[in-house]
Chains A and B, each alone.
Chain A
Amino acid sequence: MGSHKILLVEDNPDDVELTMHAFRTSRMANEIIVARDGEDALAYLFHTEQYAERATTEDDLPALVLLDIKLPGISGLDVLRRLRENDRTRRIPVVILTTSDDQTDIVSGYDLGVNSYIRKPVDFSAFTGVVDQLGLYWLVMNTPSPI
């Protein structure tokens, strides 16, 4: 692997901006790729459509996927399922980062093999703290699968 990219799957531009701001605030230098919906995220991960060219140049997978659940079109949980079904992408750490604490979402997420479920707090400073810890934990402390 060796990649340090973070794939952020989030449809709302404001939320993208806030998350990016939180990453900046926590001084994370990782490259953040933003997918604006589920199809976009899958296209990036499986090198299809606009990312078809990427297969030849860059073969690396993201070190972490931050996944929103409520997305236009394919939902976050569907993206997660597709990721876990594919041999190449099944070991990528995926963290659901969403505003909802809906019980069925949480249970479905874990059933589908999510690594962590984090509910975005309304308080932005708390959110910044969460993002900080996320980066620290998954990109520094956590040892990813070698293959």
Chain B
Amino acid sequence: MFQSAERDLVSDAQGGGAAVAKTVPTTARPSLLTLLRGGGIGYRLLALILLFSSAVTLISTVLQLYFDYRRDVSAIESRLDEIERSYLDSLAGSLWNVDAEQLRIQLDGILKLPDMQAVEVRETTVVDHPLLVTAGQRQSSSVLTRTIPLLYRERGESAQIGVLYAEATLTGVYRRLLDTTMVILISQGIKTFLVSLFILYIVFRLVTRHLMDFAEHVGGFDLRSPSPAIVLHRQAPAHADELDQVVGAFNAMSAGLRQAYDELSTVNAELEADIAARRLAECEVMRLNASLEQRVHQRTAELEAANQELGAFTYSVSHDLRAPLRRIEGFGQILVAEYADRFDERGSHYLDRIRAGARDMGDMIDSFLTLSRSTRGELTIEHVDLSAMAQDIVARLHEKEPDRTISIDIQPALGVDGDRRLLRAALDNLFDNAWKYSRGNETTVIAFGAHDEAGHTVYFIRDNGAGFDMKYADRLCTPFTRLHRAEEFEGSGIGLATVQRILARHGGRIWAAAADPGQGATFHFTCWEGKPVNGQS
């Protein structure tokens, strides 16, 4: 900003164009001439001083002229008074004597007095052709006149015999006033001009050039490159003045700015380093993520492969493992039916055992398949009426053994959201167990209900059957684990393991309680108590 101002200034001063301006170094020291450019402090100062000084001069001059005028006029007045005092009696005597010659001499004497323009004596006692003696030429303006009666005194009486007309001109007064005015104006003008110049110079020396230095410094101020503190090019005054205060304040401010800038720079650098580090960390995270994703993909693929393998295995078990059993059983049956006469009792027994083994294994394979399927495949969640399901299961069980006396208590309207097929398999297993283990009782008592426990619905199936030894309770749900001898109760040992997995997939669990062996068993289970366990993993 300053630089362009400087350029304008030089252009104005030299009347040149931009070409000249370009060659002027921007650091040129300010000259006194620059003070006089339009709008500058010097220009305004000069104008104001001249204006004020002229006004003062004018007023004082007017006052002085006024007093001079008063003094001159009063001098003339007193002269007229003196004429009255000195000449009146002798003039009246000359008039009484009608001595025109004497009168003329006397009037000429009066006329010689300074500033006197015209004097006239006229006789008033005679109407026709009164005596009239005149000296000097009358003027119409710029005159001071006085008309004095001429009295003749005789033995103590006085009578007017004529009139003295005296006229004093003010032209001399005016000329002196004009001279005085000219002298005052010229001297005051010169003095004012010189004083103005001097003040201008002083202001320039003391203030303006430092201001311009200051402006130049501020204009070139750059936070990025440290600039030295401003030093005033002058002899330091004994006491710090306003400029020192300004410079001190500015230096303090620029030091503060500098410090703030440095701090900001440091913070910025730290931030940049931070950002770089963060970017690096982000890259690392992305890399890790990518690698993690790849591992997840890999694991998923492996899992899928394993699942597929398991599916193929299950499929194969379903088709291929049962087929040989069917053959063993089938041919055994044919042997029994068609060749029974060729076997003795022992041979028939062995044949029975072979067929029974085949059937058991068939059952076991079926249970195994149920277990396997209960942990695979998608869940189809819908609302399932467990009470109705239980009624249906019990009805089917009773159909198979209609002779048993039963007492069934199923709490109505027990429902849960879940996979109907799997929940059916779970309830099937639980009711199968209750039905199976209470076979020895005269009356089979089975209860199915639910109660609230810590905000969760806990379902239970209670029977009055054989129960089990509580010390084996933790083994109940281990696949292929049985707590009873095969002769007592048939079974594969997979049922409860299947139930447990199905419930786990429904976010639930199962636990058992038994009083004493022979006192029945109660199985409790929940759904959606925790996060469902994915059967595929």
Q: Which residues of A contact B (CB under 8 A)?
A: 12, 14-15, 18, 21, 25, 69-70, 98-103, 120-125, 127-128
| Interface of chain B, main secondary structure | helix
In angstroms, Cα B320 to Cα A99, docked, is 8
In residues 295-319 of chain B, which contact A (Cβ within 8 Å)?
Answer: 314-315, 318-319
In angstroms, Cα B369 to Cα A21, docked, is 29
* Contact, CB under 8 Å: B333 / A99: no
* Contact, CB under 8 Å: A15 / B326: yes
Q: Which of A21, A25, A99, A103 contacts B319 (CB 8 A)?
A: A99
* Contact, CB under 8 Å: A125 / B333: yes
State whether the Cβ of B38 lies closer than 8 Å to any Cβ in chain A. no
Contact with A along B318-357 (1 / 0, CB 8 A): 1110110111011111100100000000000000000000
* Contact, CB under 8 Å: A69 / B333: no
Known pairs A18-B327, A18-B331, A21-B334; A122 contacts B358 (CB<8 A): yes
In angstroms, Cα B329 to Cα A15, docked, is 11
Known contacts A14-B327, A15-B326; 9 further A-B pairs (Cβ under 8 A): A99-B318, A99-B319, A100-B315, A101-B369, A120-B326, A122-B362, A123-B362, A124-B331, A127-B330
What's the least CB distance linking A21 to chain B, in Å?
6
Q: List 16 A-B contacts (CB under 8 A).
A: A12-B323, A14-B327, A14-B330, A15-B323, A15-B327, A18-B330, A99-B318, A99-B323, A100-B315, A100-B322, A103-B373, A120-B326, A123-B333, A123-B362, A125-B333, A127-B326
* Contact, CB under 8 Å: A124 / B318: no
State whether the Cβ of B420 lies closer than 8 Å to any Cβ in chain A. no
Q: Which of A18, A99, A103 contacts B322 (CB 8 A)?
A: A99
State whether the Cβ of B484 lies closer than 8 Å to any Cβ in chain A. no
What's the least CB distance linking A47 to chain B, in Å?
30
* Contact, CB under 8 Å: B362 / A101: no
State whether the Cβ of B176 lies closer than 8 Å to any Cβ in chain A. no
In angstroms, Cα B318 to Cα A125, docked, is 20
Q: Which residues of chain B have C-beta atoms less than 8 A from A121's C-beta?
A: 326
Q: Which residues of chain B have C-beta atoms less than 8 A from A127's C-beta?
A: 326, 330
The winner among A121, A124, A127 for most chain B CB atoms within 10 A is A124
In angstroms, Cα B358 to Cα A43, docked, is 36
* Contact, CB under 8 Å: B327 / A102: no
Q: Which residues of chain B have C-beta atoms less than 8 A from A12's C-beta?
A: 323, 327
Q: Which of B314, B319, B362, B377 contacts A98 (CB 8 A)?
A: B319
Which residue of B has the minimal Cβ distance to A19?
B330
State whether the Cβ of B359 lies closer than 8 Å to any Cβ in chain A. yes
In angstroms, Cα B314 to Cα A103, docked, is 11
Q: Which of A25, A99, A101 contacts B326 (CB 8 A)?
A: A99
What's the least CB distance linking B359 to chain A, in Å?
6
Q: Which residues of chain A have C-beta atoms less than 8 A from B318's C-beta?
A: 99-102
Q: Which residues of chain B have C-beta atoms less than 8 A from A18's C-beta?
A: 326-327, 330-331, 334
Q: Which residues of chain A have C-beta atoms less than 8 A from B366's C-beta?
A: 101
**Those 8 A-B pairs whose CB atoms lie nearest each other, nearest first:** A122-B362, A124-B333, A124-B330, A100-B318, A18-B330, A99-B322, A100-B319, A70-B319
Contact with A along B365-405 (1 / 0, CB 8 A): 01001000100010000000000000000000000000000
In angstroms, Cα B336 to Cα A128, docked, is 14
Known pairs A70-B319, A102-B315; A124 contacts B373 (CB<8 A): no
In angstroms, Cα B369 to Cα A18, docked, is 25
Q: Which residues of chain B have C-beta atoms less than 8 A from A120's C-beta?
A: 326
Which residue of A has the minimal Cβ distance to B324?
A14
Known pairs A18-B327, A103-B373; A124 contacts B334 (CB<8 A): yes
Which residue of B has the minimal Cβ distance to A12?
B323
* Contact, CB under 8 Å: A124 / B326: yes
In angstroms, Cα B337 to Cα A127, docked, is 14
In angstroms, Cα B322 to Cα A124, docked, is 12
What's the least CB distance linking B441 to chain A, in Å?
28
Q: Which residues of chain B have C-beta atoms less than 8 A from A100's C-beta?
A: 315, 318-319, 322
The winner among A100, A122, A123, A128 for most chain B CB atoms within 10 A is A122
* Contact, CB under 8 Å: A122 / B320: no
